[in-house]
């Protein structure tokens, strides 16, 4: 019984800490560009600096910038 008196406040504090971290990430813009990071793995790093994919005459999509 004494174990529960210690573990329940610890569990609640971890839950509140996780909730605070979620709201911090939400306010700092961590979830603003969910698709851009997934698509950036298909483009070479140097191509992003030049502004367009190598060998392509087309302008890059706006979501990759």
pLDDT of residue 37: 79
Q: How many structural domains are present in the chain?
A: 1
**What pLDDT, on a 0 to 100 scale, did the predictor assign at position 64?**
57
Would 13 be classed as within a structural domain? yes
Residue-wise pLDDT tens digits, 5-28: 999 999 999 999 999 999 999 999
Q: What is the pLDDT of residues 38-52, one digit of tens each?
A: 888 888 777 666 665
Q: Residue 36 has what pLDDT?
A: 85
CA–CA distance, 36 with 41 (Å, rounded to integer): 9
Q: How far is CA 32 from CA 11, 23, 28, 44, in A?
A: 30, 13, 9, 22
pLDDT on residue 60: 55
**40 domain-assigned:** yes
Residue-level pLDDT at 23: 97
Domain span at 20 = 3-44
């Amino acid at each position: 019984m004494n174990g529960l008196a210690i573990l329940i406040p610890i569990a609640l504090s971890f839950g509140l800490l996780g909730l605070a971290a979620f709201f911090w990430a939400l306010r700092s813009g961590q979830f603003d560009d969910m698709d851009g990071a997934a698509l950036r793995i298909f483009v070479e790093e140097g191509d992003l600096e030049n502004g367009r994919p190598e060998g392509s005459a087309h302008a890059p999509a706006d979501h990759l910038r």
